[in-house]
């Protein structure tokens, strides 16, 4: 099972949890009480559809998540970034969450 280390850029805390291979990162984070959203966006988001872009994360290494989706290309995410709701975990990753205002 891939290990996910989350660095929260808003609070500075670090959480580590495991998810199944190919798991959706947003769903796995929610299951483990990890917030990928900044401020009020934890309540005012699109619920994982990919429209709002507020679950933006930095991923290291980017090879351990799936390729950018059409929705991510629409949001113009950088090569080392993903939307948490669109990310499938394929290996151990370290992410920086709570990036977008």
pLDDT in tens, 86-96: 999 999 999 99
From CA 15, how far away is CA 21, in angstroms rounded? 19
Assigned fold of 3-97: Ubiquitin-like (UB roll) (3.10.20)
Q: In the chain, where are the structural domains located?
A: 3-97
pLDDT in tens, 64-79: 999 999 999 999 999 9
Average pLDDT across the chain, whole number: 94
Please determine, for residue 9, whether its predicted confidence score (pLDDT) is greater than 90.
no
For residue 98, what are the CA distances in angstroms to 1, 11, 46, 92? 24, 9, 15, 20
CB burial class (10 A; 0-12, 13-18, 19+) of residue 47? Answer: exposed
């Amino acid at each position: 099972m891939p290990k996910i280390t989350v660095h929260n850029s808003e609070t500075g805390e670090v959480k580590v949890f495991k998810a199944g291979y190919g798991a959706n990162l947003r769903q796995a984070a929610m299951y483990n009480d990890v917030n990928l959203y900044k401020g009020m966006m934890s309540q005012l988001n699109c619920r994982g559809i990919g429209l709002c872009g507020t679950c933006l994360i930095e991923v290291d290494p980017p090879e351990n998540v799936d390729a950018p989706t059409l929705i991510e290309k629409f949001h113009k995410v950088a090569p080392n970034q993903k939307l948490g709701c669109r990310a499938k975990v394929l290996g151990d990753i370290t992410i920086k969450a709570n990036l977008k205002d």
